[in-house]
């Protein structure tokens, strides 16, 4: 009875580890345990069926149960070792994930900085424009105070020195928009940010990296001009160089 109780306790203990048996499914420990368990169960059945218990068979049962205990201890030790190894792997995996996340963050930050630097370098190449002005002119080229009498509109500006801008021929496109929102003139089209825009006039300048002052672009008046706010825009190399509003009086 005592040995039967010990076997039942062993069996109950083994059940606690059954959910982890899959981890050692191909291990010889399980095969040994199953064989020893089978022997113990046969001896118990045999002894239970006998009226007179054999001391030799009881001793054999005791020996088999001890074998079963040893196998179970080894099995539990293996499970514990595997658990520790898994815990170690999980901790290492977490460190690797954290490291990868850190590296990813650094790469993204470096990429962002490179993009910003590239954008700054690209913007640095853009022509600059200063001193933009819009002046109505009379037929003789002098300033006309009343916009309705103007024969020409003159746009004046300066391109400062910029060592980052590539030298060479530059086409400056000018757009003048009336107070009613209409583009004045039609001097052809140009590309800007993937779209085709019409211009009022254009001028070719040779840029050598030095300042070019007092650049003038003219538009001959061919319609009635009303007093109000006029928008002047300058474009070149797919950039809007300047945009400014001017109020012209009657």
Q: What is the pLDDT of residues 50-82, one digit of tens each?
A: 666 677 777 887 787 788 778 777 777 777 777
Who has greater pLDDT, 84 or 162?
162
Based on C-alpha coordinates, what's the Rg of the chain? Answer: 47
What does the alpha-carbon distance between residue 27 and residue 208 come to, in Å, rounded to a whole number? 82
Q: Which region among 12-16, 75-79, 91-95, 178-182 has the lowest average model confidence (pLDDT)?
A: 12-16
Helices 28-49 + 2-16 axis angle, to 10: 150
Who has greater pLDDT, 216 or 93?
216
Mean pLDDT of the chain: 83
pLDDT above 90 as % of the chain: 43
Query: Is the confidence at residue 27, as pLDDT, over 50?
Result: yes
Contacts 24+ apart (CB under 8 A), 19-23: 20/79, 20/82, 23/79, 23/82
Query: Is the confidence at residue 39, as pLDDT, over 80?
Result: no
Who has greater pLDDT, 232 or 25?
232
Question: Using an 8 Å Cβ cutoff, are 241 and 174 in contact?
Answer: no
Residue 20 has a pLDDT of 58
∠ CA 89-25-75, nearest 5°, is 75
Give the residue among 207, 102, 202, 211 at the shortest CA–CA distance from 155.
202
In the numeric block, which tokens belong to residue 206? 């040779």
154 three-class SS: strand
Residue with tokens 């933009």: 132
Residue 123 has a pLDDT of 47
Who has greater pLDDT, 131 or 68?
131
Residue 190: beta bridge partners? 197
What does the alpha-carbon distance between residue 48 and residue 65 come to, in Å, rounded to a whole number? 16
Per-residue pLDDT tens over the stretch 145-204:
999 999 999 999 999 998 888 889 999 999 999 999 999 999 999 999 889 999 999 999
Give the phi and the psi of residue 122 in degrees, each rounded to 5. -65, -45
3-state helix, strand, coil in the chain (%, to 5): 45, 30, 25
């Amino acid at each position: 009875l005592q040995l039967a109780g010990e076997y039942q306790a062993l069996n109950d203990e083994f059940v606690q580890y059954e959910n982890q048996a899959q981890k050692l499914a191909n291990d010889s420990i399980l095969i040994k345990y199953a064989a020893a368990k089978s022997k113990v169960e046969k001896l118990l059945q045999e002894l239970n069926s006998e009226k007179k218990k054999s001391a030799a068979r009881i001793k054999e049962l005791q020996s088999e149960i001890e074998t079963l205990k040893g196998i179970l201890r080894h099995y539990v030790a293996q499970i514990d070792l595997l658990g520790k190894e898994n815990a170690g792997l999980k901790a290492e995996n977490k460190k690797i994930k954290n490291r990868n996340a850190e590296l990813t963050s650094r790469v993204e930050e470096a990429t962002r900085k490179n993009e910003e630097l590239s954008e700054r370098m690209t913007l640095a190449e853009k022509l600059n424009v200063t001193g933009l002005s819009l002046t109505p002119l009379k037929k003789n080229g002098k300033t006309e105070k009343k916009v309705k009498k103007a024969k020409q509109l003159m746009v004046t500006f300066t391109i400062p020195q910029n060592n980052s801008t590539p030298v060479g021929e530059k086409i400056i496109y000018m757009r003048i928009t009336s107070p009613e929102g209409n583009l004045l003139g039609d001097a052809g089209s140009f590309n800007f940010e993937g779209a085709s825009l019409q211009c009022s006039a254009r001028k070719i300048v040779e840029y050598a990296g030095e300042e070019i002052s007092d650049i003038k672009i003219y538009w001959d008046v061919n319609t009635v001009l009303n007093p109000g706010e006029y928008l002047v825009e300058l474009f070149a190399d797919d950039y809007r160089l300047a945009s400014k509003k001017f109020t012209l009086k009657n």
